[in-house]
């Protein structure tokens, strides 16, 4: 099995021959070049585990040769070879990207030091190549997983849309008013969850949801449902672009759907009215949700009207966020607030 492939660039014919024999005895496969441009051409055509470059050469000097080697598509590590009085040259080479340097001396000590330096540089280069390959594989794996998760969210959103359509067909076939209304409420709850998955598969982030965009779409859908010529409802949203993990976004979406639905149903029995949704960051860790109206309000000691299922859903979703809904006292209307952690 051949040893590491080394390219040695030096214009000294005698030293090149000595280096070739010494490195071959120490297990290296050595290729020689007498000039910088010749060495760069060889490195462009074949792979070398490392390249050793002398400083003083006709044509391209060592620093210029190293710069040309670093410009190759796959640049090899470079060991710089300098004279004993050229410390500043070695420092310049290291600053320019040399992996290491070796000072020329007379005798076998130079060849031993050269071989030992080559071994260290080759080992380090191999570790870096392994690290780069592992990182590339990890990035590819993450990309595959994100694509798969995006496809799952796509399929879930499509399935939920199909369920919504089936519920809509069932409610349309019913003559019983309360039963039809209950199915319509179920339809809106499913739509709130489907909207989350739709956001996930159409964005680059499959782990969190931009609540400004999500609530914007959700409020728009609710406005289309509840605002009619007979009972116009103005639904407005003021939200900051807060990102929440998927499960927390689902809980918040269901809460908004229930609170807005309740306000649209019961706040304005006499006609038109406005329902406002707000989402604002309190600090880095917490946000505040508010849903409010200027309607008939809630009598002291009572809870919002309805069958009770919506209230139970709101309470359950709030508990999943480790918080609770609070109804603030107001002269007119209702203001429901929720303070919760971002994560």
pLDDT given at position 106: 74
User: What is the CB-side half-sphere exposure of residue 224 using CA atoms within 13 A?
Assistant: 7
**Strand, helix or coil for residue 38:** helix
Average pLDDT, the chain: 86
Mind listing the pLDDT tens digit for each residue in 30-45? 999 999 999 999 999 9
Listed in sequence order, the residues at least 6 apart from 284 whose beta carbon sits closer than 8 Å to its beta carbon are: 342
Mean pLDDT is lowest, of 124-138, 295-309, 319-333, for: 295-309
The CA distance from 297 to 73, in Å, is 71
pLDDT given at position 340: 96
Let me know the angle formed at the C-alpha of 125 by 120 and 131, rounded to the nearest 5 degrees: 130
Whether 246 shows a pLDDT value over 60: the answer reads yes
Mind listing the pLDDT tens digit for each residue in 107-130? 788 888 888 898 899 888 888 888
Report how far apart, in Å, the C-alpha atoms of 307 and of each of 51, 169, 178, 182, 313 are: 80, 22, 10, 9, 11
The CA distance from 218 to 195, in Å, is 7
Whether 201 shows a pLDDT value over 70: the answer reads no
pLDDT given at position 242: 94
Mind listing the pLDDT tens digit for each residue in 57-89? 989 999 999 999 999 998 999 999 987 677 788
The CA distance from 11 to 36, in Å, is 9
* Cα-Cα end-to-end distance for the chain: 56
Domain 207-343: state its class. alpha beta
113 versus 106: the higher-pLDDT residue is: 113
Q: Are 226 and 220 in contact (CB under 8 A)?
A: no
Residue ranges of domains in the chain: 5-104, 207-343
CATH of domain 5-104: 3.40.50.2300
Phi-psi region of 322 (alpha: psi -120 to 50; beta: other; left: phi over 0): left
Question: Could you give phi then psi for residue 322, rounded to 5 degrees?
Answer: 60, 45
Let me know the angle formed at the C-alpha of 74 by 71 and 80, rounded to the nearest 5 degrees: 65
Helix (H) or strand (E) holding 15: helix 13-25
The CA distance from 58 to 283, in Å, is 65
pLDDT given at position 291: 95
155 versus 120: the higher-pLDDT residue is: 120
Whether 322 shows a pLDDT value over 90: the answer reads yes
pLDDT given at position 200: 66
Q: Are 259 and 336 in contact (CB under 8 A)?
A: yes
């Amino acid at each position: 099995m051949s040893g590491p492939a080394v390219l040695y660039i030096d214009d000294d014919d005698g030293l090149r021959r000595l280096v070739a024999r010494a490195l071959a005895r120490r297990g290296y496969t050595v290729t020689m070049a007498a000039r910088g441009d010749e060495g760069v051409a060889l490195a462009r055509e074949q792979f070398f585990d490392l390249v050793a470059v002398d400083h003083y050469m006709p044509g391209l000097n060592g620093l210029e040769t190293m710069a040309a080697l670093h410009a190759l598509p796959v640049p090899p590590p470079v060991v710089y070879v300098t004279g004993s009085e050229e410390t500043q040259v070695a420092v310049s080479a290291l600053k320019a990207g040399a992996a290491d340097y070796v000072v020329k001396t007379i005798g076998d000590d130079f060849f031993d030091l050269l071989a030992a330096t080559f071994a260290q540089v080759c080992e380090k280069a191999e570790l870096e190549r392994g690290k780069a390959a592992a990182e590339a594989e990890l990035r590819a794996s993450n990309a595959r997983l994100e694509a798969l998760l995006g496809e799952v969210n796509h399929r879930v959103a499509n399935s939920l849309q199909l369920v919504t359509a089936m519920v809509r067909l069932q409610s349309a076939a019913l003559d019983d008013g309360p039963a039809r209304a209950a199915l319509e409420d179920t339809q809106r709850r499913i739509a709130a969850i489907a909207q989350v998955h739709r956001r996930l598969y159409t964005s680059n982030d499959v782990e969190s949801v931009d609540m400004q965009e999500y609530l914007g779409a959700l409020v728009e859908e609710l406005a289309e449902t509840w605002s009619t010529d007979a009972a116009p409802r103005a639904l407005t949203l003021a939200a900051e672009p807060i990102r929440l993990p998927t499960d927390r976004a689902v809980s918040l979406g269901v809460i908004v759907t229930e609170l807005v639905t309740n306000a649209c149903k019961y706040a304005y029995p006499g006609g038109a009215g406005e329902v406002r949704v707000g989402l604002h960051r309190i600090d880095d860790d917490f946000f505040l949700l508010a849903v409010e109206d200027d309607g008939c309000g809630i009598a002291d000691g009572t809870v919002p009207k309805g069958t009770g299922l919506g209230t139970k859903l709101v309470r359950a979703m709030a508990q999943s966020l480790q918080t609770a809904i609070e109804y603030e006292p107001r002269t007119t209307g209702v203001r429901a607030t929720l303070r919760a952690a971002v994560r």
